[in-house]
Copies of this chain bind each other. A is one copy, B any other.
Amino acid sequence: MKNKAVVLLSGGLDSATTLAIAKSQGFEVFALSFDYGQRQRVELKKAKEIAKKLAVTDHQILTIDMRQIGGSALTDSIDVPMNRDEDEISKEIPITYVPARNTIFLSFSLAYAEVKTAQNIFLGVNAIDYSGYPDCRPEFIASFETLANLATKVGVEGKEKLKIHTPLIKLTKAEIILKGVELGLDYSLTHSCYNPKENGSSCGSCDSCQLRLKGFKEAGLKDPIEYTKSY
Protein backbone atom coordinates (compact mmCIF):
# COMPACT_ATOMS: atom_id res chain seq x y z
CA MET A 1 0.00 0.00 0.00
CA LYS A 2 1.15 3.51 -0.76
CA ASN A 3 1.03 4.65 2.87
CA LYS A 4 2.88 1.70 4.40
CA ALA A 5 6.61 1.84 4.95
CA VAL A 6 9.26 -0.50 6.30
CA VAL A 7 11.89 1.47 8.24
CA LEU A 8 15.28 -0.07 8.99
CA LEU A 9 15.93 0.80 12.62
CA SER A 10 19.35 0.15 14.13
CA GLY A 11 18.81 2.21 17.25
CA GLY A 12 21.33 4.78 16.07
CA LEU A 13 20.90 8.49 15.53
CA ASP A 14 20.41 8.26 11.77
CA SER A 15 17.82 5.48 11.70
CA ALA A 16 15.83 7.06 14.55
CA THR A 17 15.70 10.34 12.62
CA THR A 18 14.66 8.42 9.50
CA LEU A 19 11.82 6.81 11.43
CA ALA A 20 10.69 10.23 12.72
CA ILE A 21 10.72 11.55 9.14
CA ALA A 22 8.68 8.60 7.82
CA LYS A 23 6.10 9.16 10.58
CA SER A 24 6.01 12.92 9.86
CA GLN A 25 5.25 12.12 6.21
CA GLY A 26 2.19 10.13 7.28
CA PHE A 27 3.46 6.61 6.70
CA GLU A 28 2.25 3.65 8.71
CA VAL A 29 5.58 2.24 9.89
CA PHE A 30 6.80 -1.36 10.14
CA ALA A 31 10.20 -1.23 11.83
CA LEU A 32 12.88 -3.83 11.21
CA SER A 33 16.02 -4.36 13.31
CA PHE A 34 18.76 -6.97 13.17
CA ASP A 35 20.53 -8.92 15.83
CA TYR A 36 23.62 -9.71 13.74
CA GLY A 37 26.14 -10.37 16.48
CA GLN A 38 27.13 -6.69 16.70
CA ARG A 39 29.31 -5.82 19.66
CA GLN A 40 27.22 -2.73 20.37
CA ARG A 41 24.29 -4.80 21.77
CA VAL A 42 22.76 -1.78 23.48
CA GLU A 43 21.59 -0.66 20.02
CA LEU A 44 18.79 -3.25 20.04
CA LYS A 45 17.49 -2.09 23.41
CA LYS A 46 17.45 1.45 22.06
CA ALA A 47 15.70 0.31 18.86
CA LYS A 48 12.88 -1.20 20.96
CA GLU A 49 12.48 1.99 22.98
CA ILE A 50 12.42 4.17 19.84
CA ALA A 51 9.91 1.90 18.08
CA LYS A 52 7.63 2.06 21.12
CA LYS A 53 7.99 5.82 21.60
CA LEU A 54 7.28 6.52 17.95
CA ALA A 55 4.28 4.15 17.92
CA VAL A 56 5.16 1.91 14.99
CA THR A 57 2.58 -0.66 13.87
CA ASP A 58 4.99 -3.58 14.11
CA HIS A 59 8.66 -4.05 15.06
CA GLN A 60 10.57 -7.20 14.15
CA ILE A 61 14.08 -8.01 15.32
CA LEU A 62 15.59 -10.63 13.01
CA THR A 63 18.49 -12.76 14.15
CA ILE A 64 21.11 -13.32 11.46
CA ASP A 65 24.51 -14.47 12.56
CA MET A 66 27.02 -12.52 10.52
CA ARG A 67 29.85 -13.61 12.82
CA GLN A 68 29.81 -16.90 10.92
CA ILE A 69 30.86 -14.96 7.82
CA GLY A 70 33.13 -12.57 9.69
CA GLY A 71 35.34 -9.94 8.15
CA SER A 72 34.46 -6.92 10.31
CA ALA A 73 35.59 -5.29 13.53
CA LEU A 74 31.89 -4.82 14.41
CA THR A 75 31.25 -8.56 14.56
CA ASP A 76 34.69 -10.09 15.10
CA SER A 77 37.12 -9.74 17.99
CA ILE A 78 39.09 -6.98 16.30
CA ASP A 79 39.71 -3.63 18.02
CA VAL A 80 37.75 -0.76 16.51
CA PRO A 81 39.90 2.26 15.57
CA MET A 82 39.98 5.06 18.12
CA ASN A 83 40.88 8.74 18.15
CA ARG A 84 41.36 9.03 14.41
CA ASP A 85 41.19 12.48 12.88
CA GLU A 86 38.57 13.42 10.30
CA ASP A 87 40.85 12.81 7.32
CA GLU A 88 41.67 9.32 8.49
CA ILE A 89 37.98 8.53 9.06
CA SER A 90 36.89 9.53 5.57
CA LYS A 91 39.87 8.24 3.60
CA GLU A 92 39.36 4.51 3.39
CA ILE A 93 36.90 1.69 3.90
CA PRO A 94 37.30 1.05 7.64
CA ILE A 95 37.51 -2.33 9.33
CA THR A 96 34.15 -1.56 10.95
CA TYR A 97 32.66 -2.12 7.48
CA VAL A 98 30.51 -5.26 7.63
CA PRO A 99 30.66 -7.01 4.24
CA ALA A 100 27.46 -6.45 2.24
CA ARG A 101 25.57 -5.38 5.38
CA ASN A 102 23.22 -2.88 3.78
CA THR A 103 22.57 -5.26 0.89
CA ILE A 104 21.58 -7.96 3.38
CA PHE A 105 19.48 -5.57 5.49
CA LEU A 106 17.69 -4.16 2.43
CA SER A 107 17.00 -7.68 1.16
CA PHE A 108 15.24 -8.59 4.39
CA SER A 109 13.35 -5.29 4.37
CA LEU A 110 12.19 -6.19 0.88
CA ALA A 111 10.81 -9.52 2.11
CA TYR A 112 9.13 -7.79 5.06
CA ALA A 113 7.70 -5.09 2.75
CA GLU A 114 6.31 -7.74 0.44
CA VAL A 115 4.61 -9.62 3.28
CA LYS A 116 3.17 -6.40 4.76
CA THR A 117 2.22 -5.10 1.27
CA ALA A 118 4.33 -2.01 1.90
CA GLN A 119 5.68 -0.16 -1.14
CA ASN A 120 8.17 1.98 0.71
CA ILE A 121 11.45 1.23 2.45
CA PHE A 122 13.23 3.88 4.50
CA LEU A 123 16.95 3.61 5.16
CA GLY A 124 19.04 6.14 7.09
CA VAL A 125 22.17 6.03 4.97
CA ASN A 126 24.24 9.10 4.53
CA ALA A 127 26.64 9.90 1.70
CA ILE A 128 28.42 12.74 3.51
CA ASP A 129 29.45 11.30 6.85
CA TYR A 130 29.38 7.81 5.40
CA SER A 131 32.84 6.85 6.59
CA GLY A 132 33.75 5.33 3.24
CA TYR A 133 31.21 2.49 3.31
CA PRO A 134 30.51 1.49 -0.32
CA ASP A 135 26.90 0.51 0.44
CA CYS A 136 25.94 4.02 1.59
CA ARG A 137 26.40 5.65 -1.80
CA PRO A 138 23.43 7.02 -3.82
CA GLU A 139 24.29 4.81 -6.81
CA PHE A 140 24.09 1.75 -4.57
CA ILE A 141 20.62 2.78 -3.36
CA ALA A 142 19.37 3.47 -6.90
CA SER A 143 20.64 0.07 -7.98
CA PHE A 144 18.86 -1.65 -5.09
CA GLU A 145 15.59 0.07 -6.01
CA THR A 146 15.88 -1.30 -9.55
CA LEU A 147 16.61 -4.76 -8.16
CA ALA A 148 13.71 -4.57 -5.70
CA ASN A 149 11.26 -3.99 -8.51
CA LEU A 150 12.58 -7.01 -10.40
CA ALA A 151 12.83 -9.29 -7.37
CA THR A 152 9.29 -9.28 -6.11
CA LYS A 153 5.70 -9.97 -7.04
CA VAL A 154 5.20 -6.22 -7.40
CA GLY A 155 7.86 -6.20 -10.10
CA VAL A 156 6.37 -9.12 -12.02
CA GLU A 157 2.82 -7.90 -11.82
CA GLY A 158 4.04 -4.40 -12.65
CA LYS A 159 1.15 -2.48 -11.13
CA GLU A 160 2.96 -0.52 -8.47
CA LYS A 161 6.54 0.38 -7.79
CA LEU A 162 8.55 -0.12 -4.67
CA LYS A 163 10.49 2.93 -3.55
CA ILE A 164 13.63 3.17 -1.39
CA HIS A 165 13.64 6.42 0.61
CA THR A 166 16.92 7.79 1.96
CA PRO A 167 15.92 11.16 3.43
CA LEU A 168 19.31 11.71 5.10
CA ILE A 169 21.52 10.90 2.16
CA LYS A 170 22.60 14.47 1.43
CA LEU A 171 22.44 15.88 4.96
CA THR A 172 25.38 16.57 7.25
CA LYS A 173 25.23 15.05 10.73
CA ALA A 174 24.36 18.49 12.11
CA GLU A 175 21.47 18.88 9.64
CA ILE A 176 20.20 15.40 10.55
CA ILE A 177 20.21 16.31 14.25
CA LEU A 178 18.43 19.63 13.63
CA LYS A 179 15.79 17.82 11.54
CA GLY A 180 15.19 15.28 14.32
CA VAL A 181 14.96 17.97 16.97
CA GLU A 182 12.46 19.86 14.77
CA LEU A 183 10.35 16.66 14.67
CA GLY A 184 10.53 16.32 18.45
CA LEU A 185 12.86 13.32 18.49
CA ASP A 186 14.56 12.64 21.82
CA TYR A 187 18.16 11.74 20.96
CA SER A 188 18.78 10.33 24.42
CA LEU A 189 16.92 7.29 23.03
CA THR A 190 19.63 6.67 20.43
CA HIS A 191 23.01 4.98 20.51
CA SER A 192 26.01 5.39 18.19
CA CYS A 193 29.16 4.10 19.92
CA TYR A 194 31.01 1.10 18.43
CA ASN A 195 32.71 0.45 21.71
CA PRO A 196 30.30 1.16 24.60
CA LYS A 197 31.14 0.52 28.25
CA GLU A 198 29.19 -2.12 30.15
CA ASN A 199 26.93 0.52 31.70
CA GLY A 200 26.01 1.61 28.15
CA SER A 201 27.97 4.88 28.17
CA SER A 202 29.69 5.85 24.93
CA CYS A 203 33.47 5.99 24.48
CA GLY A 204 33.60 9.31 22.65
CA SER A 205 36.67 8.17 20.70
CA CYS A 206 35.54 5.69 18.03
CA ASP A 207 34.70 6.97 14.53
CA SER A 208 30.97 6.80 15.23
CA CYS A 209 31.19 8.78 18.50
CA GLN A 210 33.43 11.35 16.86
CA LEU A 211 31.03 11.92 13.96
CA ARG A 212 28.12 12.19 16.39
CA LEU A 213 29.88 14.64 18.72
CA LYS A 214 30.98 16.77 15.79
CA GLY A 215 27.36 16.82 14.53
CA PHE A 216 25.97 18.03 17.84
CA LYS A 217 28.72 20.62 18.12
CA GLU A 218 28.03 21.97 14.63
CA ALA A 219 24.29 22.00 15.36
CA GLY A 220 25.01 24.09 18.47
CA LEU A 221 23.41 21.47 20.71
CA LYS A 222 24.52 19.29 23.57
CA ASP A 223 24.37 15.53 22.98
CA PRO A 224 21.99 14.17 25.67
CA ILE A 225 23.59 10.69 25.87
CA GLU A 226 26.19 9.67 28.45
CA TYR A 227 29.86 9.53 27.61
CA THR A 228 32.64 8.09 29.77
CA LYS A 229 34.35 11.47 29.56
CA SER A 230 32.41 14.73 29.37
CA TYR A 231 32.17 16.58 26.05
- A residues with a Cβ closer than 8 A to B are 60, 62-66, 68-71, 93, 97-104, 106-108, 110-112, 114-115, 132, 134-135, 137, 139-140, 143-144, 146-148, 150-153, 155-156
Contact = CB atoms under 8 A, between A and B. Distances in A.
A115 B101 CA distance: 12
Contacts of A135: 150-152
Nearest to A62: B68
A103 B137 contact: no
A111 B134 contact: no
Contact of A100 (B101, B102, B107): B107
A104 to B, nearest CB: 4
A52 B132 CA distance: 39
A79 B127 CA distance: 45
Contact of A62 (B64, B97, B102, B106): B64
Contact of A140 (B69, B112, B115, B147): B147
Nearest to A72: B115
What are the 4 closest A-B residue pairs judged by CB atoms, nearest first?
Answer: A100-B111, A71-B115, A99-B114, A99-B111
Contacts of A98: 111
